[in-house]
């Protein structure tokens, strides 16, 4: 894949590039790793701080490996724990603050500290749950690009002056589409404001203290450091994640991690090819383990699968599955993208993680989505709105609800909609990987991209929201009404006096 990219992209000057990916989530890093390796293959000197060293032996790719002391990367989501309550969604920024403690501790890593003595042409920084690495970026005095493996969060939009209107842009912590009722818009607005407040208290303020502890009290406020971002590469696309206005400094690169599908392992390919009615693939990602799947819900799926003509591939972490019908095959690991792009795969049962959702859309496979946490609810609603899948409420799983959902996505008309979504998603002027590489080199060439930032970035909120203008207009209107009222009153009084005089005369 990378050789093809190198042939397609014009040659460029060699730059020294630093990537800062201090979050332990592998799915986050997986989005941008192809671009980092492709840049190295083009001859750029690439240094990457992450928990996930490259397996490809690329001479100009240098790993600065972080150690996961708390085994955070092994953290799993359990089906028997309810992550969908409103309280959990409302308090997500608080959880971000708790997660950031370990991330910021990496500023003490000796290999990270050595980077301060190096010079870089451009720095890539993941924008997720902490900004404490922006202190290092400031010391390096290099332009930086923000990267986001998900749809931009409210507190990320503000650093680049992007519109984030809660009347039609759903907060990704919630479960709304872009077409909301009055009560949904009311709640969406409340969560929008709350997330800003909680992020300021639990993330921004602690980050600022940490930065000044490491880099000195003369360090600018962390919120001001974030506003220096040249542009943001975001793992979204309007065909999949709902259309919204974007300033020039936001570049959508959804699907950048997707390469060319390969043949699945022989036993899986044989199972798929021999199913004359097609195959359904079932996976809940790497963080949700099958052994926590409630027994009655598992049995509901097995009974529903048993009623289908199609075969089922189920990524299941255990060696056995009691009650499994003959048309279901289980395996601990499966090559998801290679399976989804097989022409005989007709459906996908998923948790709504953005990487898996993107791969399904790319391959044109309709999805039954059972969102569990984070942005999965928003991903699910967006996919449903685009015609690529339907949402199945995990709390209401019964044999009939599962069976109806599966029959819906297996319908030829629904499959046609998924194929149309796939065509729209893939129809772009440039492939997403080439797009990302172009803009990274663009920032390096121009030593930043301040010219792409709107004036909204440095506006006080009262100016941005025109509160001062609105206040002036209200005062002007009130003053005008006051003048008119008293003018009329005085005029009427004079007229009344004249009338009384005439009557007396």
How does pLDDT run across 409-441, given as a tens digit for each residue? Answer: 999 999 999 999 999 999 999 999 999 999 999
**What number is the average pLDDT over the span 3-29?**
74
Beta strands in 66-138 (DSSP E): 122-126
- What value does the mean pLDDT of the chain take? 88
- Asked if residue 503 has pLDDT above 70, the reply is no
Phi then psi for 101, rounded to 5 degrees? -60, -50
Q: Which residues are within 8 A (CB) of 461 and not within 5 positions of it... i.e. 6 or more apart?
A: 467
Distance CA 122, CA 447 (A): 8
In this predicted structure, which of 46-55, 65-74, 487-496 has the lowest mean pLDDT?
65-74
* pLDDT in the model for residue 395: 84
* pLDDT in the model for residue 79: 57
- At 451-462, the pLDDT tens digits run 998 898 988 888
* pLDDT in the model for residue 279: 94
* Comparison of pLDDT for 99 and 191, the residue scoring more: 191
* Comparison of pLDDT for 407 and 317, the residue scoring more: 407
Distance of CA 162 to the CA centre of its chain: 15
pTM attached to this predicted model? 0.88
- Asked if residue 75 has pLDDT above 60, the reply is no
- Asked if residue 207 has pLDDT above 70, the reply is yes
- At 115-152, the pLDDT tens digits run 998 999 999 999 998 999 999 999 999 999 999 999 99
Buried residues in 431-445 as b, exposed as e (16+ CB within 10 A)? bbbbbbbebbbbbbe
How far from 175 is each of 180, 305, 494, CA to CA, in Å?
A: 10, 27, 65
C-beta of residue 138 within 8 angstroms of C-beta of residue 227? no
* pLDDT in the model for residue 2: 46
3-state secondary structure 163-222: CCCCCCCCCCCCCCCCCCCHHHHHHHHHHHHHHHHHHHHHHHHHHHHHHHHHHCCCCCCH
- At 278-287, the pLDDT tens digits run 999 999 877 6
* pLDDT in the model for residue 4: 46
Confidence of residue 7 (pLDDT cuts 50, 70, 90): very low
Distance CA 25, CA 74 (A): 9
What is the DSSP pairing of strand 311-315 with strand 279-282?
parallel
- At 171-185, the pLDDT tens digits run 888 888 888 999 999
């Amino acid at each position: 894949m990378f050789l093809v990219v190198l042939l397609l992209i014009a040659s460029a000057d060699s730059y020294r590039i630093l990537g800062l990916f201090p979050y332990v989530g592998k799915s986050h890093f997986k989005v941008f790793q192809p671009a980092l390796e492709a840049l190295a293959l083009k001859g750029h000197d690439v240094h990457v701080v992450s928990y996930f060293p490259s397996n490809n032996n690329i001479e100009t790719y240098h790993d600065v490996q972080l150690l996961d002391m708390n085994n955070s990367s092994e953290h799993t989501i359990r089906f028997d724990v309810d992550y969908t309550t409103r309280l959990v969604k409302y308090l997500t920024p608080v959880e971000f603050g708790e997660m950031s403690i370990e991330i910021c501790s990496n500023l003490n890593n000796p290999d990270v500290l050595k980077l301060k003595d190096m010079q870089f042409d451009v720095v890539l920084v993941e924008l997720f749950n902490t900004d404490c690495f922006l202190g290092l970026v400031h010391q390096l005095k290099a332009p930086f690009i923000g990267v986001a493996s998900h749809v931009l969060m409210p507190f990320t939009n503000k650093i680049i002056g992007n519109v984030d209107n809660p009347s039609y842009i759903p907060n990704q912590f919630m479960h709304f589409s872009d077409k909301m009722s009055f009560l949904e818009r009311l709640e969406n607005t409340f969560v929008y404001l709350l997330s800003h407040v909680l992020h300021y208290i639990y993330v921004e303020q602690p980050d600022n203290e940490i930065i000044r502890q490491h880099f000195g009290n003369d360090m600018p406020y962390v919120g001001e450091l974030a506003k220096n971002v040249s542009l943001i590469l975001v793992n979204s696309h309007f065909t999949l994640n709902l259309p919204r206005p974007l300033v020039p400094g936001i570049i959508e690169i959804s699907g950048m991690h997707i390469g060319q599908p390969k043949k699945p392992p022989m036993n899986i390919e044989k199972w798929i090819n021999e199913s004359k009615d097609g195959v359904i693939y079932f996976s809940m990602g790497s963080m949700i383990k099958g052994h926590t799947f409630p027994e009655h819900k598992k049995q509901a799926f097995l009974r529903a699968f048993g009623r289908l003509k199609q075969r089922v591939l189920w990524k299941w972490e255990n060696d056995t599955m009691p009650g499994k019908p003959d048309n279901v095959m289980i395996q601990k690991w499966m090559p998801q993208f290679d399976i989804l792009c097989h022409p005989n795969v007709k459906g996908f049962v998923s948790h709504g993680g953005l990487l898996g959702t993107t791969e399904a859309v790319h391959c044109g496979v309709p999805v039954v989505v059972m969102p569990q946490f984070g942005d999965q609810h928003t991903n699910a609603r967006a996919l449903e709105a685009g015609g690529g899948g339907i949402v199945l409420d995990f709390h209401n799983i019964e044999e009939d609800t599962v069976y109806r959902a599966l029959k819906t996505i297996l319908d030829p008309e629904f499959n046609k909609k998924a194929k149309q979504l796939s065509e729209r998603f893939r129809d772009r002027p440039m492939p997403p990987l080439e797009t990302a590489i172009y803009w990274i080199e663009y920032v390096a060439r121009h030593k930043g991209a301040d010219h792409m930032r709107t004036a909204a970035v440095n506006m006080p909120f009262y100016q941005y929201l025109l509160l001062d203008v609105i206040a002036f207009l209200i005062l002007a209107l009130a003053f005008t009404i006051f003048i008119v009222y008293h003018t009329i009153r005085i005029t009427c009084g004079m007229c009344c006096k004249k009338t009384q005089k005439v009557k007396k005369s």
